[in-house]
Amino acid sequence: MNAPFNPRAGMRDPFTAFVCEDATAELVRGVAIEHGWAPEKVNKGGLRNAIQSLSVAASPHVLFVDLSESGDPLTDINALAEVCEPGTVVIAAGQVNDVRLYRDLVASGIQDYLLKPFTSDQLRDAFVNAQLTIAGPRGPEAAVDRPHTTVAVIGVRGGVGASTLATSLAWLLAEKAGRSTALLDLDVHFGTGALAFDLEPGRGLTDAIENPSRIDGLFIERAMVRVGDKLSVLSAEAPMHQPLATDGGAFHQLQEEMRGAFECTVIDLPRNMLIQHPHLVQDVNVAVVAAEMTLAATRDAIRVLAWLKANAPNARVVLAANKVGQGSGAEISRKEFEQSVERGVDVLIPLDAKLTAQAAKLGKPLAEVAKAGKLGQPLSRFADIVGGGDGIGAPDEGDGSAASLKSKLGGFKQLLAKKPKPAPVAA
């Protein structure tokens, strides 16, 4: 639709519908929810109501209008075009089965016309096509301007907060940096990618693993759960009796398709997957190694960093120390940790049990709840480093490279040597 530019366009809703009867409203609501759109955006009243409402409000990205009660759909559609801002994709529905009307409507700028009664599948297809139109073709120019970034977040031990960092990172890249982002949670049985956003994971990821040949652009559009305009999640809660039956081909294919459909992919990559499917890091641009300052995490940070050097030599490694501070920070100091892993920590994220509990209760990522507080700043910095902002790869102090630390005495062996030996157990 082609009305002149309107400054209200900045406040556009992703979706609005104007329908004539309850049955259509119910059907549209159901499919809208699947797309992550608010069901209350489905209004009663057809085309005339749409024209009235949109003359005083910003038009949405996707607009569904019911033409059933319109005596002259073509004239009314042209009146709608007057109040719609550029870029709105209009899907119409009506009872008139006339190919001339269909052609005239398409010529007037509507994207699709659904003959009533239509099915959920037909509507779903129309919405998916609308979203593809909005996303636009990914021309070679766009690819040069903003090459796709694939980030893998790997926790060196269980529970260090890798998933917390992955969800926060995906949210920050999408909401703050404005980059369309996919969060791919490869913890197929116990993943929290959807849970962190208070969403159901759906069957998308399990379907992909079962039928890798089905994975294509359209599959990605349908299977991913939308968190917002810029952020979508693919996650699963596979049943525990169902072992992960894949050679990893599905994961590779998913990465490939996401590379075509998004600007960033954040992979929550459980470390045990590295053993089974080392090729998963082949095309990764940034590997986030999430650790804690504990003895066990130090040992495994050394191992994971060495493994990445061998298996993802082209990936930029970002070392994130999480849960730093009183309580968990006491086991090993930052200095000891850095000497042992022979590099600097790129970002330190403090321990804050209160805020993480609040994020969990609200069903929001930690970064969203943290705002500008004591966790907000380091998390933003973390996203900035990963996303290639000002401080690419720069640690908090010094350059943190192995070279800058090589003169210092270091190594995990020294660290272990300092630990008191346990007293012998009396026989």
Contacting positions for Mg ion (CB under 5 A): 163
Q: Do residues 396 and 338 lie in contact, with contact meaning Cβ atoms separated by under 8 Å?
A: no
How many Cβ atoms sit within 10 Å of the Cβ of residue 75?
11
Binding residue for ligand ATP, selected from 323, 343, 364, 381, defined by CB under 6 A: 323
Nearest-approach distance from CB 378 to Mg ion, in angstroms: 19
> Is residue 327 near ligand ATP by the rule CB under 6 A?
no
Q: Which residue from 335, 306, 307, 303 is spatially nearest to 321, judged by alpha carbons?
A: 335
- Considering the complex, what minimum distance in angstroms separates the CB of residue 145 from ligand ATP? 33
Tokens of 25: 């409203």
Closer residue to ligand ATP (CB): 17 or 184: 184
Per-residue contact flags (x/-) with ligand ATP for residues 268 to 307, judged by CB under 6 A: --x-------------------------------------
Does residue 383 interact with ligand ATP by CB under 6 A? no
Q: Which entry of ligand ATP, Mg ion, none binds 158, CB below 5 to 8 A by partner kind?
A: ligand ATP
| 285 backbone dihedrals φ, ψ, rounded to 5° | -90, -40
Binding ligand ATP (rule: CB under 6 A), the pick from 16, 108, 163, 380 is 163
Select from 36, 76, 27 the least CA-distant residue to 230. Answer: 36
Establish if 353 lies at the interface with ligand ATP (CB under 6 A).
yes
- Residue 192 interacting with ligand ATP (CB under 6 A): yes
Q: At what angle do helices 376-387 and 162-171 cross, to 10 degrees?
A: 70
How many whole angstroms separate alpha carbon 186 and alpha carbon 189? Answer: 9
**Could you tell me the sign of the dihedral formed by the alpha carbons of 325, 330, 336, 341, in that order?**
negative
Residue linked to tokens 């809703």: 13
Look up residue 75 and give its two tokens: 């004239």
DSSP class of 138 = -
User: Toward ligand ATP, which CB reaches closer, 63 or 291?
Assistant: 291
- Strands 225-226 and 286-291, bridge-based pairing: unpaired
Contact 106, 126 (CB under 8 A): no
Q: How far is the CB of 262 from ligand ATP (least distance, A)?
A: 22
Collapsed DSSP state (helix, strand, coil) of residue 27: helix
> Whole-number minimum distance, CB 192 to ligand ATP, in Å?
6
Q: Is 16 in the site for ligand ATP (CB under 6 A)?
A: no
Contacting residue, 20, 84, 92, 160, with ligand ATP by CB under 6 A: 160
Tokens of 118: 């239509």
For position 187 contacting ligand ATP by CB under 6 A, the verdict is yes
Of residues 37 and 337, the one with the C-beta less far from ligand ATP: 337
Determine if 358 is a binding residue for ligand ATP (CB under 6 A): no
The DSSP 8-state label assigned to residue 406 in this structure reads T
Is-contact 347 392, C-beta < 8 A? Answer: no
CB of 378: closest distance to ligand ATP in angstroms? 9
Contact residues for ligand ATP, defined by CB under 6 A:
155, 158-164, 187, 192, 270, 322-323, 349, 351-353, 356, 360
